[in-house]
Amino acid sequence: MIPSKVNIEKALKVVQSFAHRTPVLRSSSLNEIAGCRLVFKCENFQKMGAFKMRGALNAIANLSDAQKAKGVVTHSSGNFGQAVALAAKNLGVTAYIVMPENAPEVKMDAVKGYGGIVTICESTLQAREDAAAKIQLETGAAFLHPSNDLNVIFGNATAAVELLEDHGDLDVILTPVGGGGLIAGTALAAHYYGSKSTVVGGEPFEVDDAYRSLLSGTIETNTTTNTVADGLRTHLGDQNFPIIQELVSEIIRVEEEEIIVAMKLLWERLKIVIEPSCAVPFAAVLREKEKFQNKKVGIILSGGNVDLTKLPF
Amino acid sequence: MIPSKVNIEKALKVVQSFAHRTPVLRSSSLNEIAGCRLVFKCENFQKMGAFKMRGALNAIANLSDAQKAKGVVTHSSGNFGQAVALAAKNLGVTAYIVMPENAPEVKMDAVKGYGGIVTICESTLQAREDAAAKIQLETGAAFLHPSNDLNVIFGNATAAVELLEDHGDLDVILTPVGGGGLIAGTALAAHYYGSKSTVVGGEPFEVDDAYRSLLSGTIETNTTTNTVADGLRTHLGDQNFPIIQELVSEIIRVEEEEIIVAMKLLWERLKIVIEPSCAVPFAAVLREKEKFQNKKVGIILSGGNVDLTKLPF
């Protein structure tokens, strides 16, 4: 059963009070290259640099006052930790962020800068989960999952709602697929706010768990994580998978080289800084051009937190 | 004598018909770092990637029909050639662009892609001027100067007019200073459309001709051009210098290292691609923080055409 529209309406109120309404960019030269009319929703310009701010805000706002008083906890090597720290600060809630010891120092500094309380652990998933569980036990903080949480998904949906408010005539909206929280939210937005928009995911061949999950009908995982799109290595969860099964038309897989070409094109033509993961949907459009021919295509550019000294091109 | 406001009003009509109204970005973290309230007018998102599109459009639009029929010519290794080619295409005019043989192939391709007729010459100023003069003689095309042309200056002014429409309460507006066409236009915009905005230039110590020109009262030139801000190596001209003398408050000089630090900060925090020249005004704000303390500061980000494989950081 698909969650009702009222959840997204409530999320819009929360998110639009604290997050940026991000701009939508276009480029004639990219339209020519792709053979369709593209609009890009720039969540790389979102606060803390990624759409994850939206989901974190909505998840924290939906806690009870008693839960809020005890704080929130998550484990993250990247954007979600920053998003929870900043969203919690905005909402006056304590945030405990477990980070693996190999997380970039700049990301740890960002979390601390937002007032998050950082706990460093070994870089295994087990160590991260153990550290978060210990904090939950000690403080009573509520655990927040980056993608498999309905309130996170409703928050994420607001990016596509804004895009559809600006461009109601989109034939299709694409997002990258990692843990599934963004594409599930986008699919709900298209379902309730779109007039005719289908939703398509982009996923690297190297971590094509979501593609395989849609084929098999059960949540598949990845045995390797060998992709430049470091935000897309995770797999779907029981909260977002049913939404994706019901409302997502298709997942298009792309090669690593295609991701890098697409990323460089977006930097060059849109003049923006985006993460490799963020280039995957545009790579999918370029790979299957005939599918999008002359259509009006919206792409959610998910984030821009990238180490400028370690670019893949 | 300062040119009248009607010139800019006319330029607005031309420019806003063909150019993007570029977005204005802000960043809380940059505000904290700088100690003032910053707004950035993103001309890196302008068509062809730089504010020069505005001046080129207005200069071509102001030609007589007889002149338009014969075309326009300029010499350029960079943005102005692209701007003239694209503006001419929009206005149905033939553009002849003289480019030095060492100009990046990607820039030559861009000019050709916009329908410009490219003539390649040696990379000396003499060879460039000779080649342009020959084309003028043969075709009757009108020569367009990138910065020392009043209609170019009026076109450039429209960026600051838009910024002031969005943020009328700016205490100061900063631009980089190269040939003087952008700062002269910005100063006119602040004069006629600002309520209280002063205009300040940023210039590298390595090519501080404009700073010295304001001191000496005559147009000074540079003996070396050893700066990462490759768009700022040129000097002022007789059309823009009087405007700058009359209406610009100050020019702040910055070190090369300060430009690179400012550029990287803008990339990281605003998530945008900008040229080194474009970072000079922000470097000036960081260098003389006390001067801008708690003020509302507008910065014109002039362009984003940069070779992504040759970044200075």
Interface ipTM? 0.90
User: Which residues of B have a catalytic role annotated?
Assistant: 52, 77
The pTM for the full model equals: 0.92
| Residue A173, token pair as written in the block | 């909206």
Sheet hosting strand A95-100, strand order edge to edge:
A117-121, A95-100, A72-75, A142-143
Query: What is the CA B221 to chain-centroid distance, rounded?
Result: 18
Phi, psi of B199 (to 5 degrees): -125, 130
How many Cα atoms within 13 Å fall on the side-chain side of residue B207? Answer: 25
Q: Which CATH number fits domain A5-50+158-301: 3.30.1390.20, 3.40.50.1100, 2.30.42.10, 3.30.1240.10?
A: 3.40.50.1100
The tokens describing A64, both together, are 């009870």
Choices 3.40.190.10, 3.30.420.40, 3.30.2270.10, 3.40.50.1100: CATH for A53-143: 3.40.50.1100
Whether residue A1 is predicted with pLDDT greater than 90 in this model: the reply is: no
For A211-236, the pLDDT digits (tens) are: 999 999 999 999 988 999 999 999 99
| pLDDT tens for each residue of A232-272 | 999 999 999 999 999 999 999 999 999 999 999 999 999 99
pLDDT of residue B41: 98
The beta-carbon neighbor of A304 closest among B45, B271, B304 is B271
AA letter at B216:
S
Contact A25 B45 (CB under 8 A): yes
CA dihedral A192, A194, A200, A201 (to 10 degrees): -60
CB contact at 8 A, B191 and B247: yes
Q: Of B199, B197, B228, B267, give the one whose Cα is nearest residue B44.
A: B267
Residues in chain B closer than 8 A to A23 (CB atoms): 23
Residue-level pLDDT at B105: 84
> Is B5-48+157-301 assigned to CATH 3.50.50.60?
no
**Interface residues of chain A, partner chain B, Cβ below 8 Å:** 23, 25, 28-29, 42, 44-45, 47, 49, 113, 264, 267-268, 270-274, 304, 308-309, 311, 313
Q: Parallel, antiparallel, or unpaired for β A296-301 and A172-176? A: parallel
Burial class (CB within 10 angstroms; exposed 0-12, middle 13-18, buried 19+) of A151:
buried
In chain A, residues with a C-beta closer than 8 Å to the C-beta of B311 are 308
Among A24, A23, A90, A26, smallest CA distance to A57 is for A90
On chain A, the residues whose CB falls within 8 A of the CB of B28 are 47
Partner residue facing A271 (CB), from B113, B264, B304: B304
CA atoms within a 13 Å half-sphere pointing along the CA-CB vector of B4: 2
Distance CA A299, CA A176 (A): 9
Positive or negative: CA dihedral A140, A145, A146, A152 = negative
Which residue reads 């970039």 in tokens?
Answer: A104
Extended strands (E) in chain B: 24-25, 37-42, 72-75, 95-100, 117-121, 142-143, 172-176, 198-204, 250-254, 296-301
Q: What span, in angstroms and rounded, lies between the C-alpha atoms of A171 and B296? A: 41
Same-fold call for A5-50+158-301 versus A53-143 = yes
Residue A274's closest CA among A227, A220, A233, A312?
A: A312
CB contact under 8 A, A267 and B311: no
Q: Are B306 and B276 in contact (CB under 8 A)?
A: yes
Instruction: Kindly state the tokens that stand for B27.
Output: 């960043």
Within 13 Å and on the Cβ side, how many CA atoms surround A25? Answer: 26
Contact residues for A246 (Cβ-Cβ < 8 A; gap 6+): A2, A187
The residue assigned the tokens 């009328």 is B168
Domain ranges of chain B: 5-48+157-301, 53-143
Q: Are A266 and A272 in contact (CB under 8 A)?
A: yes
Query: In B, which residues are within 8 Å of A45 by CB distance?
Result: 25, 270-271
Contact, A309 vs B313, CB < 8 A?
yes
Q: Minimal Cα–Cα distance from B105 to chain A, Å? A: 15
Q: What is the pLDDT along chain B (313 residues), one digit of tens a residue?
A: 899 999 999 999 999 999 999 999 999 999 999 999 999 999 999 999 999 999 999 999 999 999 999 999 999 988 999 999 999 999 999 999 999 998 888 889 999 999 999 999 998 889 999 999 999 999 999 999 999 999 999 999 999 999 999 999 999 999 999 999 999 999 999 999 999 999 999 999 999 999 999 999 999 999 988 999 999 999 999 999 999 999 999 999 999 999 999 999 999 999 999 999 999 999 999 999 999 999 999 999 999 999 898 888 8
Residue A17, pLDDT score: 96
DSSP state letter for B279:
G
Whole-angstrom CA distances from A51 to A65, A186, B82, B211 are 25, 11, 34, 43
User: A169 CB contacts (<8 Å, ≥6 apart)?
Assistant: A195, A196, A296
Q: Report the C-alpha gap between B277 and B280 in whole angstroms.
A: 6
The pLDDT of residue B225 = 87
In this structure, the number of other CB atoms found within 10 A of the CB of residue B66 comes to 9
Q: What is the 3-state secondary structure (H, E, C) of chain A?
A: CCCCHHHHHHHHHHHHHHCCCCCEECCHHHHHHHCCEEEEEEHHHCHHHECHHHHHHHHHHCCCHHHHHHCEEEECCCHHHHHHHHHHHHCCCCEEEEEECCCCHHHHHHHHHCCCEEEEECCCHHHHHHHHHHHHHHHCCEECCCCCCHHHHHHHHHHHHHHHHHCCCCCEEEEECCCCHHHHHHHHHHHHHCCCCEEEEEEEHHHCHHHHHHHHCCCCCCCCCCCCCHHHCCCCCCCCHHHHHHHCCEEEEECHHHHHHHHHHHHHHHCECCCCHHHHHHHHHHHCHHHHCCCEEEEEECECCCCCCCCCC
Q: Which neighbouring-strand residues pair with B303?
A: B50
Residue whose C-alpha is closest to residue B51's, from B239, B301, B312, B296: B301
Nearest to A272 among B113, B268, B272 (CB): B272
Given a cut of 90, whether residue A107 has pLDDT beyond it is: no
* C-beta of residue B245 within 8 angstroms of C-beta of residue B190: no
Q: Is A221 exposed, middle or buried (0-12, 13-18, 19+ CB in 10 A)?
A: exposed
- Residue B272 has its nearest CB partner, among A28, A29, A273, at A273
- Annotated catalytic residue: which of A52, A197, A213, A277? A52
d(C-alpha B199, C-alpha B202), whole Å: 10
pLDDT in tens, A111-155: 999 999 999 999 888 999 999 999 999 999 999 999 999 999 999
Give B297's strand partners.
B38, B172
Contact assessment for residue B178 and residue B232, using Cβ atoms and an 8 Å cutoff: yes
CA B71, CA B88: separation in Å to the nearest integer? 8
Which of B140, B146, B176 minimizes the C-alpha distance to B83? B146
Instruction: Report the distance separating Cα B54 and Cα B48, nearest Å.
Output: 10
Determine which of B27, B44, B271, B313 to mutate to test the interface with A (most A C-beta atoms within 10 Å): B271
